[in-house]
Chain A
Amino acid sequence: SAVISQKPSRDICQRGTSLTIQCQVDSQVTMMFWYRQQPGQSLTLIATANQGSEATYESGFVIDKFPISRPNLTFSTLTVSNMSPEDSSIYLCSVNGQGVVETQYFGPGTRLLVL
């Protein structure tokens, strides 16, 4: 299994500002995933971050709002830009597991509240 850490664990931000969330994995991985879990909602994939190439965004998510960096095989950042209260959510990064069944391992999440 992979050990994943995220910073910050939580933050309270003012609308119009931006927050960068860091994700560190204890092993090299090809793909890293960024999810959002809004209050009472399911886990929604924002984008897939590949090292050495542009991130792939899911429908409804754009690079200008959620720029992603992937400088190496163990680290990624997600920025939530020009925040509004609707961005209040838990943001999670994850990586694929190795095994017969392709599971995913998740970081502890970053709880964001936008006022």
Chain B
Amino acid sequence: DQQVKQNSPSLSVQEGRISILNCDYTNSMFDYFLWYKKYPAEGPTFLISISSIKDKNEDGRFTVFLNKSAKHLSLHIVPSQPGDSAVYFCAAPGAQKLVFGQGTRLTINP
């Protein structure tokens, strides 16, 4: 059972525009959600999180929105920069482990 799903394997956005990455989940008991960013040949790095009691968390160019009724969260990057090209994973805390989505490969085009 895939508790955290990212249905878009890839996304291409023009530099300067907004990138929106989506994530759906099935377990309404998750306390918080995390977004990770992964460059090739590197491990994932933590990017931003959101508590389940909030509907928005902003950190610079990155904003995560949580819609609990829809069991959906999204990561907005604005403006998008070439260095944002990476694979993005959403994750949630399962039983003593993180549960990851499949990842979305974001490509920022100049």
Contacts and interface: CB of A to CB of B under 8 A. Distances in A.
B93 A109 contact: no
Interface residues of A, number: 24
Nearest to B103: A42
B46 interface: yes
A42 B32 contact: no
Interface string A91-110: 01010010001111111110
A75 B101 CA distance: 28
A33 interface: yes
Given A43-B44, A108-B43, A109-B42, A103 B34 contact: yes
A23 to B, nearest CB: 11
Interface residues of B, number: 20
A97 B34 CA distance: 13
A40 B103 CA distance: 8
A86 B50 CA distance: 36
Contacts of B34: 101, 103
A41 B105 CA distance: 12
Contact of B45 (A101, A102, A106): A106
A25 to B, nearest CB: 12
A94 B32 contact: no
A108 B43 CA distance: 4
A80 interface: no
A45 interface: yes
Contacts of A4: 43
A111 interface: yes
25 contacts: A33-B97, A42-B89, A42-B100, A42-B101, A43-B89, A43-B98, A45-B97, A48-B96, A58-B97, A92-B43, A92-B44, A101-B32, A101-B34, A101-B49, A101-B51, A103-B49, A104-B46, A105-B43, A105-B46, A106-B44, A106-B45, A107-B43, A108-B41, A109-B41, A109-B42
Interface of B: 9, 32, 34, 41-46, 49, 51, 89, 93, 96-98, 100-103
